[in-house]
Amino acid sequence: MDILTRAYELKDEIVYYRRKIHQFAELGFCP
């Protein structure tokens, strides 16, 4: 169960950072 919970947390983090990168890209900033 611990591994599953960690996997879900990791997924949420990836989605969060992907949105952040998308926001920066819209502003014309490419990392």
**Higher local confidence (pLDDT), 6 or 29:** 6
Q: How far apart are CA 29 and CA 21, in angstroms?
A: 9
Task: Decide if pLDDT at 29 tops 80.
Answer: no
What average pLDDT does the structure give for the chain? Answer: 87
Q: Which two tokens stand for residue 28?
A: 């014309």
Q: Is 8 exposed, middle or buried (0-12, 13-18, 19+ CB in 10 A)?
A: exposed
pTM for this prediction: 0.54
Report the pLDDT value the prediction gives residue 19, as an integer from 0 to 100: 94
Q: How far apart are CA 15 and CA 3, in angstroms?
A: 18
Task: Tell me the domain boundaries of the chain.
Answer: 1-25
pLDDT band at 18 (very low <50, low <70, confident <90, very high): very high
Task: Decide if pLDDT at 27 tops 90.
Answer: no
